């Protein structure tokens, strides 16, 4: 892997992320938008799962999920999260930490309208993270909803929508031989971002 220098990085971490994300999208065999999302209960017990990034702009990072899910319950009681992107072919990671809040209903509605119909039906049918007796129960529920709404445009259910993680720290990691990796951390300050190199 080539050296990553401080001078190679943009002053704004979201600009830097979008550059790396575009490169990952062109070379990675797995979806570049796949990311691990870490949350914790109010007592600090952590949990982590894979989700998909659906937007990255000057506000931060957007993803969508069920509002009755475990991750949503944890974010309700402890509105902080961490993201990890890992792009193996490039030997890169990006870590993001910050506050999380729900996006406006209009934004969730707009994204829901772009989803494939099967994914829309899944969002309507699933009581995410609740106990399910059998797979057949879920399949039958999806089929019943498909029959009920045949020919209709589907509306976003109240129990599903988006979240925005506003970054406070962003780390860009470039793998190097012998575990002598290049790591740079952006930290949000009142006037902008501080960028520092970290020991590997």
pLDDT per position as a tens digit, 152-181: 899 999 999 999 999 999 999 999 999 999
What angle in degrees, to the nearest 10, is found between the helix axes of 135-148 and 117-125? 120
* 3-state secondary structure (DSSP) of residue 183: strand
State the Cα–Cα distance between residues 19 and 98, nearest whole angstrom. 21
pLDDT > 80? residue 1: no
Which pLDDT band, with edges at 50, 70 and 90, does 2 fall under?
Answer: confident
Q: What is the mean pLDDT of residues 11-31?
A: 97
Catalytic annotation, residues: 179
Contact yes or no for 188/155 (Cβ under 8 A)? no
Which of 95-134 are b and which e, b meaning 16 or more Cβ less than 10 Å from the residue's Cβ?
bbbbebebbeeebbeebbeebeeeebbbbbbbebeeeeee
pLDDT in tens, 49-101: 999 999 999 999 999 999 999 999 999 999 999 999 999 999 999 999 999 99
Task: Classify residue 192 as left (phi > 0), alpha (psi -120 to 50) or beta.
Answer: left
pLDDT > 90? residue 14: yes
Q: Where in the chain is the domain with CATH 2.30.110.10?
A: 6-113+158-198
Query: 3-state SS of the chain: helix, strand, coil percent to 5?
Result: 30, 35, 35
What is the CATH topology of the domain spanning 6-113+158-198? Answer: Pnp Oxidase; Chain A (2.30.110)
């Amino acid at each position: 892997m080539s050296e990553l220098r401080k001078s190679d990085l943009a002053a704004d971490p979201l600009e830097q992320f979008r550059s790396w994300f575009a490169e990952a999208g062109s070379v990675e065999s797995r979806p570049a938008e796949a990311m691990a999302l870490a949350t914790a209960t109010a007592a600090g017990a952590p949990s982590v799962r894979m989700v998909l990034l659906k937007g990255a702009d000057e506000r931060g990072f957007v993803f969508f999920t069920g509002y009755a899910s475990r991750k949503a319950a944890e974010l309700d009681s402890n509105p902080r999260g961490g993201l990890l992107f890992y792009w193996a072919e490039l030997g890169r990671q990006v870590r993001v930490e910050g506050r999380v809040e729900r996006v406006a209903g209009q934004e969730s509605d707009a994204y829901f309208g772009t989803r494939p119909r099967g994914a829309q039906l899944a969002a309507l049918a699933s009581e995410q993270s609740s106990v399910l007796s059998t797979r057949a129960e879920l399949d039958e529920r999806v089929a019943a909803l498909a029959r009920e709404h045949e020919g209709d445009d589907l509306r976003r259910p109240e129990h599903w929508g988006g979240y925005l993680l506003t970054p406070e720290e962003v780390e860009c990691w470039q793998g190097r031989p012998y575990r002598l990796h290049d790591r740079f951390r952006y930290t949000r300050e009142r006037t902008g971002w501080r960028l520092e190199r970290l020991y590997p």
